[in-house]
Structures are given as C-alpha cells and as structure tokens.
Amino acid sequence: MKRKQTIAQVRWDLALRYRLIETVAWWEGRLTTVHLTQSFGISRQQASKDINTYITEHAPKNLTYDRQIKGYVPSKQFKPLFIDDSASAYLHLLYQNNARAPHVEGLALAYAHTKVLEVPDRSIKAEILRPLLKACREHLRLDIDYVSLNSPDPEGRTIAPHTLVYTGMRWHVRAYCEKNREYRDFVLSRLRGVPELMDGETENGISDDSQWNSEVNVIIKPDERLTSAQKAIIEGDFGMVDGRLQIPCRQALVKYVLQRYQIDPKNMDPKPEAQQIVIENLKELKPWLYD
C-alpha cells in the first residue's frame, strides 16, 4: 500500500502544479487539464494524472468533476492546502501571465478582463548582473563605476554587496561602500561599465548591516482631514484594523515602503481626498528616510 505524502514531502515541481490547481479552481471556478498543459508544457495525460493525484493523495473533498462544463469545480468543503485563499495568489498569477504573454502562450485565465500597468523596463545587462550575483553569493568585493544625481560623472567605488532588492519600480543592490564606510543602496541602472570582482572575501557582510537586520513597523492611517465615513472607506481599501495598518519592514527599506504607498511626508496633497493616507509614526521613521 502506497504511503500518503505530507505537504512538506511533495516534490517542488508537483507542488507548483498543485498550487496552480488550487488557484485556478478557487478563483476561476473551473479547472481543466489545459491549465496545466499550457503552463507546464506537459501532456494532457500527465495533467489528468496530476489532478487525480492531487485529489486522491491530498484533497479528496476539494474538487468535483462537472460533466456539463467539462471541468473540475471547487466543492463547498474546498480548503486550500498549497495556497492561502487570499486574492493575492490569483492576482500574482495574472500578473505573471501578463508579463510573459508576448513570449509564450499564456494560461486560459480571465486576464482578458484585466490590465496591468507596466513600469518602463530598466534593462540591466547580464555582464553587470552576473558579477553582482556572484559577489552576493560568495561574499566578495566589487570595483564599480557609479553615477548619482550628486556625481553625474562615473565615480569609482569599492562595494561589498549582499542583497538585490526590487522596490516595485527599479532594482538596487544593498552593499557596504568602502568610500563612505557604511551600507548603502546602489541603483543597478546607474552602474557604468562592468563590475570587476576582487580577490578575497569581504569583512563587511550582511551580518554587520544593522539597518538591514533590524525591523520597524510602518504604521499607516487615514488622513485626519477626512470625514468619519471617508475614513471608513479608506480603512476598508487597505484592510486596516482599528483604523491602522501596520507594515513590518526592514529599517533599510522604510523609504521604499512609503514610495509604494505614494506617501511623501514633505509634500502632502492639500486635498485630503487625494492624500487619503498618512504615516502615523513618522517621527519614529525619520532616521531611515531621505534627508
């Protein structure tokens, strides 16, 4: 008799397929083998086997086959095992399909009814990214040429990078800067030439980056100038609890969280209906904001 696997024992490739099964079934309301064949490039027979294995070994009460629509539908007892039941998993899947649509055949999802606002592609050359990744992995130092708004001409820097960060608009690398003797953010699109790997491991690794390793809560609340009814709407929009939204954040990333929520403490919109949200604990966060 075959022993039943726990969720943790499922192979990663099967876990990806099971995640797709649950995401599509729960949010689209209809799952077919086409969803799996188009997404993973597998045969219809393999897709059918994956769905049956998911049902028999993990979730016998989650899906039922509807002959009229020729697909699986979520049962009333549906309880996801490989995803949470928030909309984020499905919306993320829509975004991924939208991004790859020009290159490969997408899933048969409802993204014909969605529109993703894409930011301009800030292309990063492979010859720049490769040494950065190697330096992060192997704790190496890099010799780079970098431009900034304060120094428009390329300036040589020696850095020890530890983490690549995507802020939602652009990529940067968190690194120790030997010139400034502190950890800083370097925007990848501002690197010039090809970074040169240097011999020997750095003595300034991720463990010494205190702002990276320390967390703080960014607390958002409705603009006080709004009426009670308006505040209630904003609280619903952002999923606030007791009129506040707490966002755990690395100290080094505080300014990027504010950018994502389009909050500029120095330039508040004169119209509260436009401003909508403000930072409740701004004084606490000031050490990690721009001067």
Cα separation of 77 and 75, whole Å?
A: 5
| Rounded alpha-carbon distances, angstroms, from residue 176 to 159, 184, 253, 286 | 5, 6, 15, 21
Q: Return the CATH number of 7-113, one of 1.10.10, 2.40.128, 1.20.5, 1.10.3470.
A: 1.10.10
Q: Could you tell me if 258 and 218 are in contact, meaning their C-beta atoms sit under 8 angstroms apart? A: yes
Q: Could you tell me if 185 and 165 are in contact, meaning their C-beta atoms sit under 8 angstroms apart? A: yes
Over the stretch 114-155, which tens digit does the pLDDT of each residue have? 555 556 656 678 788 889 989 998 999 999 999 998 889 999
Over the stretch 54-102, which tens digit does the pLDDT of each residue have? 999 999 999 999 998 889 999 999 998 888 766 666 666 666 655 555 4
| Sequence ranges of the domains in the chain | 7-113, 126-210, 214-288
Over the stretch 166-214, which tens digit does the pLDDT of each residue have? 887 888 999 999 999 999 999 999 999 999 999 889 999 999 999 999 9
pTM summary value: 0.69
For residue 253, the Cα-to-chain-centroid distance in whole angstroms is 14
Cα separation of 33 and 88, whole Å?
A: 23
Cα separation of 219 and 242, whole Å?
A: 12
